[in-house]
Chains A and B, each alone.
Chain A
Amino acid sequence: MATPVSQVTPLPNKDAFRSGMRAGIPVAVGYIPIAIAFGLLAKSFDMPNVITLAMSLFIFAGASQFIGVQLIMAGSMYWEIILTTFILNLRHFLMSASLSQRLETTSNRFLAAIAFGVTDETFSVASTRDESTRGHFVLGLNMIAFLAWNVGTWIGVFLAFGLPVSVQASMGIALYAMFIGLLVPSLTRKPVIVVAAIAVLTQAILYFGIAPFLPLSPGLSIILATVVAAGAGALLYKEDET
């Protein structure tokens, strides 16, 4: 059968998967210090190792794991921790929604496997690559990020106590550095700047004005500030300027 000249032969699945893994290397390399910091943080809070490792294995979401450990150790209510995790990770909904429009892959089991690995970073990489219409590509990308996250957690839990205390103490910043690294490059568009500013302002009001007088957990204030800021953004910017 004749094929139009312009049509490129699709990459075999195996090659798409490998290409995805290669595309995921920068994400994997970035995850390792953060995962080590997570393992260290959990250890410093005397979290049982099994729980720490299970978090990286089953949850695979950096921010909510860090916040989760902090909330557990602060003695927060379980429903509050679960709600915070849910709200924090609700943002993946939009990323999966965007991927769903792009992927050619059809099998539900395959999509279920891809869904598990959707993170801010894997999604950012997938959005910028043409190959990401291929399920195998996205799976390879997500897989290497997941492996790095878990390897880093194991290192943090079992090996990182060998690091000098001064280095260990410095790694608490790792997650926040990643957040800054993700947010700052987006601050080129006015709506994003306004939303981020409203979030910080709301957090400041809650932290300095309310928290000293009313019991307000970090998780709850993150939820409140997010809803206020994203809601304000959605109200203020009606046009397609987002």
Chain B
Amino acid sequence: MISLLLLVLAMALVTYIPRLVPLLWLRDIKLRPFLKRFLLFTPYAVLASLIFPGILQATTSLTSAVAGGVVSATLALLRVNLMFVVIGGIAGVYLMNLFL
């Protein structure tokens, strides 16, 4: 338990540092262009790597996970508010599970 709590605090620290350092010290520093582009692309690369293959095991069956993903992607394409993208995904999984 104590070691888990220490792990959580370590995770908190490595999460906080990238959030804090630029706000305090980056005003004057110029990033190299390559690094800047790398950081610009990072959010999309992370999101895509998080979605696949993790989503395949997000629910009790592959079919319902894919159904939820398709519903969410459709709603997201229609520029629906993020909250409804999430709720729609949950509903898609729920409904698909009813049929399985």
Q: What residues of chain B lie closer than 8 Å to A242, measured between beta carbons? A: 37, 40-41
Q: What's the nearest-Cβ distance from chain A to residue B69, in Å? A: 6
A159 at the interface (CB under 8 A from B): no
**Is B15 in contact with A89, judged by CB distance below 8 angstroms?**
yes
**Is B73 in contact with A184, judged by CB distance below 8 angstroms?**
yes
Which listed residue, A55, A114, A121, A199, touches B11 by the CB 8 Å rule?
A55
**Is A115 in contact with B16, judged by CB distance below 8 angstroms?**
yes
**Is B76 in contact with A180, judged by CB distance below 8 angstroms?**
yes
A72 at the interface (CB under 8 A from B): yes
**Is A234 in contact with B82, judged by CB distance below 8 angstroms?**
no
Q: What residues of chain B lie closer than 8 Å to A180, measured between beta carbons? A: 51, 69, 72-73, 76, 85, 89
Q: Please, which residue of chain A has its CB at the minimum distance from the CB of B34?
A: A234
When each residue 101-144 of chain A gets 1 if its CB lies under 8 Å from chain B and 0 otherwise, what string results? 10100001001101110101100000000000000000000000
Q: What residues of chain A lie closer than 8 Å to B3, measured between beta carbons? A: 78
* Given A64-B11, A115-B20, A176-B72, A29:B83 Cβ within 8 A: yes
B52-83: which residues lie under 8 A (CB-CB) from chain A? Answer: 52-55, 58-60, 64-65, 68-69, 72-73, 75-77, 79, 81-83
Q: What residues of chain A lie closer than 8 Å to B51, measured between beta carbons? A: 176, 179-180, 183, 200
Q: What residues of chain B lie closer than 8 Å to A2, measured between beta carbons? A: none
Q: What's the nearest-Cβ distance from chain A to residue B44, in Å? A: 5
* Given A186-B44, A195-B45, A82:B7 Cβ within 8 A: yes
- Chain B residues with a Cβ closer than 8 Å to the other chain, count: 72
* Given A58-B9, A112-B24, A229:B45 Cβ within 8 A: yes
User: Interface residues of B: mostly helix, strand, loop or mixed?
Assistant: helix
Q: What residues of chain A lie closer than 8 Å to B40, measured between beta carbons? A: 94, 233-234, 242
**Is B50 in contact with A63, judged by CB distance below 8 angstroms?**
yes
Q: Please, which residue of chain B has its CB at the minimum distance from the CB of A99?
A: B23
Q: What residues of chain A lie closer than 8 Å to B37, measured between beta carbons? A: 233-234, 237-238, 242
* Given A91-B42, A120-B43, A182-B47, A33:B19 Cβ within 8 A: no
A192 at the interface (CB under 8 A from B): yes
Q: What residues of chain A lie closer than 8 Å to B22, measured between beta carbons? A: 93-94, 96-97, 99-100
Q: What's the nearest-Cβ distance from chain A to residue B56, in Å? A: 9
How many A-B Cβ pairs are below 8 Å? 288
A171 at the interface (CB under 8 A from B): yes
Which listed residue, B15, B20, B42, touches A112 by the CB 8 Å rule?
B20
**Is B8 in contact with A51, judged by CB distance below 8 angstroms?**
yes
A203 at the interface (CB under 8 A from B): yes
**Is A177 in contact with B14, judged by CB distance below 8 angstroms?**
no
* Given A195-B44, A199-B45, A58:B55 Cβ within 8 A: no
**Is B48 in contact with A200, judged by CB distance below 8 angstroms?**
yes
In Å, the complex CA distance between A109 and B65 comes to 43
**Is A55 in contact with B8, judged by CB distance below 8 angstroms?**
yes
Known: A99-B22, A180-B69, A185-B79. 14 other contacts (CB 8 A): A72-B4, A78-B3, A78-B7, A93-B18, A96-B19, A170-B90, A172-B65, A173-B59, A173-B69, A176-B89, A195-B41, A195-B45, A200-B49, A231-B38
Q: List 6 A-B contacts (CB under 8 A).
A: A58-B12, A94-B39, A96-B20, A173-B58, A176-B58, A195-B48
